[in-house]
Amino acid sequence: MDHITAFQEYEQSALEAIVAAADAAALENVRIEFLGKKKGRLKDLQAVVGKVSAEERPVVGKAFNEVKMRVSTAFDARKKEVERPKTALSSLDITLPGTPVKLGKRHPLTQTMEDFKDIIGRFGFTVADGPEIEDEYHNFNALNIPDDHPARDPLDNFYLSAASYATGGLPDNPRLLRSQTSTVQIRMMEKEKPPIRIVSLGRVYRPDTIDATHSCMFHQMEGLMVGDDVTMAQLKTVLQLFATTYLGQDVQIRFRPSFFPFTEPSVEVDMGWGDDWLEIGGAGMIDPNVLKAVGYNPDEVSGFAFGLGIERFCMRRHQITDIRRFYENDVRFLSQF
Ligand code: PHE
């Protein structure tokens, strides 16, 4: 084999081995094989140079040195690469484009609830929370809804089967998904003494047939104010101020006489623009029986409560015509808000 071929073969396999070495240990093996001083491929190559004639030797020797230099340089460069610590910083490519994914947004209903808390908070209402899985006492009894009331019909509520939770005393104390946030009125008054001024926002569940304006799950904001001398005029003022702050100065609030077991008197609340009225919830003065159920004296304290449909406000504000859009999680819809 002549020396030219030997040089080429050596250089090519050395460079390939250097590039292929994945870590420091592999690279060290490559060094021993191709650049080792005592034995190995470089020694073999030196032997080839030793065999050429005296006239050729300067040229061949120079070529040998050049090959050796190129392989050593490649080796040193690769050594630096495999020894560089793999920190997050070194793997961060600052030449890549800035935000590779689109930033998400909060759901329009979440935005509405944040707005609601913000507005009602300015009237001194703090935010309270209550469980979505309720017992009949908090969903009905304490709210003055008697056993034979049609609202308690199992077909109009989502009762949980005994098997769906481990403890809780079924069948003596059945559980259901709350059908209204009024449950939080009871839970608050059980815990606190008046004065109370809270709102509670969250999901409620009713087995309604689903269409453009009905869903079997929707959101309510419950309001509760209890004190020495709370009046219906204050109730209407709070609702009027709330509605105009959220929807604009031209919105009117209207009360229509109604009935709820837990308020007396009770009203349906409409908001309107001219002749165009939309029902948005119920309200009233807390029934004395409810005050008694939580251990208050109805002769000493009074209070109002209201329950508003959050979807309705959001739909009106954004001209959304179908309530189902909120729950389909279609980003083409959601990204518009
Ligand atoms: N809980 C009632 C409903 O869901 C609304 C309401 C709340 C009425 C508070 C009066 C007082 O229909």
Q: Which tokens sit at 163?
A: 């098997």
Task: Give the residue, out of 260, 263, 268, with the most ligand 1 atoms within 8 A of its beta carbon, to mutate for a pocket test.
Answer: 260
pLDDT in tens, 153-168: 989 999 998 765 555 5
Domain boundaries of the chain, sorted by first residue: 2-83, 108-334
Q: Which residues of 108-130 are buried (b: 16+ CB within 10 A; e: fewer)?
A: bbeebbeebeebbeebebeebeb
Mean pLDDT, to the nearest integer, of 219-247?
Answer: 97
SS3 (DSSP) at 92: coil
Q: How far apart are CA 22 and CA 18, in angstroms?
A: 9
What is the 282 CA–ligand 1 centroid distance (Å)? 5
- pLDDT computed for residue 83 by the predictor: 86
- pLDDT computed for residue 88 by the predictor: 61
Nearest CA to ligand 1 atom 12: 282
Q: What angle do CA 134, 135, 138 make, to 5 degrees?
A: 85
Of all atoms in ligand 1, which is nearest to the CA of residue 281?
5
Evaluate: CB of 260 within 6 angstroms of ligand 1.
yes
- pLDDT computed for residue 38 by the predictor: 84
What is the 204 CA–ligand 1 centroid distance (Å)? 12
- pLDDT computed for residue 195 by the predictor: 97
Evaluate: CB of 284 within 6 angstroms of ligand 1.
yes
Evaluate: CB of 307 within 6 angstroms of ligand 1.
yes
- pLDDT computed for residue 262 by the predictor: 98
Q: How far apart are CA 142 and CA 140, in angstroms?
A: 6
- Please give the DSSP secondary-structure letter assigned to residue 257: E
Evaluate: CB of 303 within 6 angstroms of ligand 1.
no
What is the 146 CA–ligand 1 centroid distance (Å)? 16
Q: Which tokens sit at 319?
A: 């001209």
Mean pLDDT, to the nearest integer, of 231-237?
Answer: 97
Task: Give the residue, out of 134, 177, 182, with the most ligand 1 atoms within 8 A of its beta carbon, to mutate for a pocket test.
Answer: 182
Nearest CA to ligand 1 atom 4: 180
What is the 180 CA–ligand 1 centroid distance (Å)? 7
pLDDT in tens, 107-121: 999 999 999 999 999
What is the 310 CA–ligand 1 centroid distance (Å)? 13
Mean of pLDDT over the chain: 92
pLDDT surpassing 90 at residue 284: yes
Evaluate: CB of 283 within 6 angstroms of ligand 1.
yes
pLDDT surpassing 80 at residue 265: yes
What is the 228 CA–ligand 1 centroid distance (Å)? 22
- Ramachandran assignment for 248, one of left (phi > 0), alpha (psi -120 to 50 degrees), beta (any other): left
Q: How far apart are CA 63 and CA 297, in angstroms?
A: 107
| Region 108-334: CATH code | 3.30.930.10
Mean pLDDT, to the nearest integer, of 135-148?
Answer: 96
Q: How far apart are CA 156 and CA 138, in angstroms?
A: 17
Mean pLDDT, to the nearest integer, of 122-136?
Answer: 96
Query: Which of 88-92, 237-241, 275-279, 284-288 is least confident?
Result: 88-92
Evaluate: CB of 309 within 6 angstroms of ligand 1.
no
Shortest CA distance to 189 belongs to which of 289, 283, 280, 282? Answer: 289
What is the 162 CA–ligand 1 centroid distance (Å)? 28
More confidently predicted of 141 and 39: 141
Evaluate: CB of 182 within 6 angstroms of ligand 1.
yes
What is the total residue count of the chain? 337
What is the 183 CA–ligand 1 centroid distance (Å)? 10
Evaluate: CB of 183 within 6 angstroms of ligand 1.
no
pLDDT in tens, 76-106: 999 998 888 766 666 777 787 777 777 788 9
Residue 264 burial (C-beta neighbours within 10 Å; 0-12, 13-18, 19+): middle
- What is the pLDDT confidence band of residue 29, given thresholds at 50, 70 and 90? very high
pLDDT in tens, 202-230: 999 999 999 999 999 999 999 999 999 99
- What is the pLDDT confidence band of residue 169, given thresholds at 50, 70 and 90? low
Mean pLDDT, to the nearest integer, of 179-190?
Answer: 98
Evaluate: CB of 7 within 6 angstroms of ligand 1.
no
Mean pLDDT, to the nearest integer, of 158-180?
Answer: 76
Evaluate: CB of 306 within 6 angstroms of ligand 1.
yes
